[in-house]
Copies of this chain bind each other. A is one copy, B any other.
Amino acid sequence: MQDAELSKAYRILNHGPVVLVSTSHQGKRNVMAAAWNTPLDFDPPKITIVIDKNTYTRELIEASGSFAINVPCVAQMDTVRSVGTSSGRDLKDTDKFALYGLETFFAKTIDAPLLEGCVAWLECKVIPERHNQNTYDLFIAEVVAAYADERVFSDGHWHFEGHDDLRTLHHVAGGEFFVTGAAVRAAL
């Protein structure tokens, strides 16, 4: 795991992967899947992400003012599906991490559990924009820390060759995904 230069952190989301959003507030924690994310600015890096009003994650984000983005890989496809189709609000005396056997480690700058086995992580602080949040479920956040699995992301570039199980995922619908495919380069 390697720190990613913050000015290149947008590259972690630039190709449009599905992500897992993890949150914590006063001892409660949750994780959900979110396909509707995108970079918003380079430096300081900002992102947007859509978090539905009905989600438990939304409640924890609005209480804590922060969240983490975890970029999952092919090997975690079933986890993405599991945490994306259940609500942490329904769980008694447990949470999704315990229920699905997800190992975590501590974020550096915010209070959120980060998922082991993912290939990149962004620690995010919400820039309060109530109109966007209330009208569109749209959150804007600043990325305050970024790191990645250096086997597949370093110097601001993803390089998946030789690590097919660490390729990122693009959500289609339900439990269907596309794997991030071949790297190609324009002639010009």
Residues of chain A whose beta carbon lies under 8 Å from any beta carbon of chain B: 11, 14-17, 35-41, 46, 48, 50, 74, 77-78, 80-82, 85, 129, 131-132, 136-138, 140, 156-158, 167, 169-173, 175-188
Number of identical monomers bound together in the oligomeric complex: 2
Check A180–B170 contact: CB distance below 8 A. yes
Check B185–A167 contact: CB distance below 8 A. no
Check B186–A78 contact: CB distance below 8 A. yes
A149 to chain B, nearest CB (A): 17
Complex: A178 Cα to B182 Cα, angstroms: 5
Contacts of A80 in B (CB 8 A): 186
Check A138–B48 contact: CB distance below 8 A. yes
Pairs of residues from A and B, 9 with the lowest C-beta to C-beta distance, nearest first: A16-B16, A181-B181, A175-B186, A81-B186, A15-B170, A179-B181, A38-B38, A179-B182, A36-B38
Check A78–B40 contact: CB distance below 8 A. no
Decide: A172 near B186, CB < 8 A? Known: A36-B40, A40-B36, A180-B181.
no
Check A39–B40 contact: CB distance below 8 A. no
Decide: A81 near B173, CB < 8 A? Known: A50-B38, A136-B40, A179-B181.
no
Check A46–B11 contact: CB distance below 8 A. no
